Amino acid sequence: MFATPLGCNLWYNHASTDGFIFLYNATHPILAKPTTSSSSSSSSSSSSICSPMAASFFFLLLLPLSFFFTDSSLASVQDPHLVVQEVQRSINESRTRRNLGYLSCRTGNPIDDCWRCDPNWETNRKRLADCAIGFGKNAIGGRNGRFYVVTDAGDDDPLNPRPGTLRHAVIQNEPLWIIFKRDMVIQLRQELVMNSFKTIDGRGASVHVAGGPCITIHYATNIIIHGIHIHDCKRGGNGNIRDSPQHSGWWTISDGDGVSIFGGKNIWVDHCSLSNCNDGLIDAIHGSTAITISNNYMTHHDKVMLLGHSDSYTQDKNMQVTIAFNHFGEGLVQRMPRCRHGYFHVVNNDYTHWEMYAIGGSASPTIYSQGNRFLAPDVRYRKEVTKHEDAPESEWRHWNWRSEGDMMLNGAYFRQSGAGAASSYARAYSLSARPSSLVGSITVTAGALNCRRGSRC
């Protein structure tokens, strides 16, 4: 739903965290009826009452956005060069609108500028699903389903979760947009194994998944994880876990990742704060693809992000991941990310700390680093951004790794490679990313946001 100009009245229903569905006219509720469970309908039966002129203006205003945000394909394997071009186009469109004074709150971050200017975000949550860019742009999460309100922070029984818990929500077969009634710290007893077509939306509450096993996306598709804190994740497993209403199974010991993506497709992790997990903060392996990792704030961790199962697992050649607008902050050591085989677009991120290296890889991944800001540590022999791993120079010098428009500070340098790099990226030159000098401003709110009803996030 969009805020309408020129006095148009837009009618819609909204799921209340108090167990009621409210029907609104502009800003005032006019009808309320009790719901039957902790989950509530996401159907947005709507009609607008506008003058013809106002309706026409509204349509023309939204028409350019509809072309960009319409899902043209759900194919998991896309032309990587076209996706890079699309990311660049959206960034430049966002910058142009800001320069024209389109909306004063715009930052040039195309994801945030898509939804954060709306003070009524709380009644228009599903707008977020139209805002992804990059390889994970088709991740719709639970957009086509009901709202599910998490009311219970407990996780007493991973095999038979109680209604109202996060675990009960994520295992359902139907699409669900999952929100939270209040601030919560959720300490899971076992991995939270997600079913497909789910959105975890932490906006409006301070939600921490912490102190136990964390989130697993196992052969699932269309997942959005937004606006939560994920930290202090432990190993789990050696127990029965339910992953759907009809199925449960024995899970072996997990790695202790913050978010583990195993054979997942159409995944978007946005505006989360991640730190201090047993293994990786976000790992994507075993044929996972069509992933965007954006606007996250990552701190206090060793092996930050692994993208690719192993050098010998060639199915990861189809892996495509966009890493954009993240802040890699204090206390990080390496793997931001570490890549294997696939295609990785690393754009407009802020790297303010690393102890070993920032971007690494093996098994000939294609890495396109564009418009990032790299601040090297003071240690003289840790200035290099990159690390070509598990191969002699005679081999890795053929890998396509390219830096374009990156800002190198305090002696940072990027070791490029690949004789065919120029031709490999020729189709990406039509539009450029935002200048690296502006990375600080477009990543300043990376991580989980403090969103309050009735005001912009």
Note the pLDDT tens digit of each residue in 36-76.
333 333 333 333 334 444 444 444 444 444 434 444 434 44
| Cis ω before 337 (30° cut-off from 0) | yes
> Is the separation of the CB atoms in 443 and 348 below 8 Å?
yes
Give CA–CA dist 236/87, Å, rounded: 37
Whole-number percent of the chain with pLDDT over 90? 70
CATH ID of 76-137+310-457, from 3.20.20.70, 2.160.20.10, 3.40.47.10, 2.40.50.140: 2.160.20.10
Phi-psi region of 286 (alpha: psi -120 to 50; beta: other; left: phi over 0): left
User: Is the Cα dihedral 73, 147, 282, 405 positive or negative?
Assistant: positive
Q: What percent of the chain is predicted at pLDDT more than 70?
A: 74
- 95, 335, 373, 402: the active-site residue: 335
Give pLDDT tens digits for 238-276. 999 999 999 999 999 999 999 999 999 999 999 999 999
427 is known as an active-site residue: no
Domain covering 142-279 in this structure, CATH number:
2.160.20.10
Question: Taking a C-beta distance cutoff of 8 angstroms, is the pair 8, 48 a contact?
Answer: yes
Residue 298 near residue 321, CB atoms below 8 Å: no
Give residue 155's pLDDT: 97
The model scores a pTM over 0.85: no
Q: Rounded to whole angstroms, what are the CA distances from 52 to 47, 48, 55?
A: 14, 11, 5
Structure tokens at 308: 């690719």
Question: Which segments within 16-98 are labelled E, that is strand?
Answer: 20-25, 28-34, 39-40, 47-49
The two three-digit tokens of residue 297, written as one number: 């704030």
CB under 8 Å to 187, separation ≥6 — which residues? 155, 210, 211, 212
The string of pLDDT tens digits covering residues 341-395 is 999 999 999 999 999 999 999 999 999 999 999 999 999 999 999 999 999 999 9
Provide CATH 2.160.20.10 ranges for the chain: 76-137+310-457, 142-279
394 Cβ contact partners less than 8 Å away, ≥ 6 residues apart: none
Q: What is the rounded end-to-end Cα distance, in angstroms, of the chain? A: 17
Rg (the chain; Cα; Å): 22
Kindly indicate the confidence band of residue 453, based on its pLDDT and cuts at 50, 70 and 90: confident
The residues, ordered by sequence, that sit 6+ positions from 147 with a Cβ below 8 Å of its Cβ are 15, 39, 40, 41, 42, 125, 176, 177, 178, 179
- 16 compared with 193, residue with greater pLDDT: 193
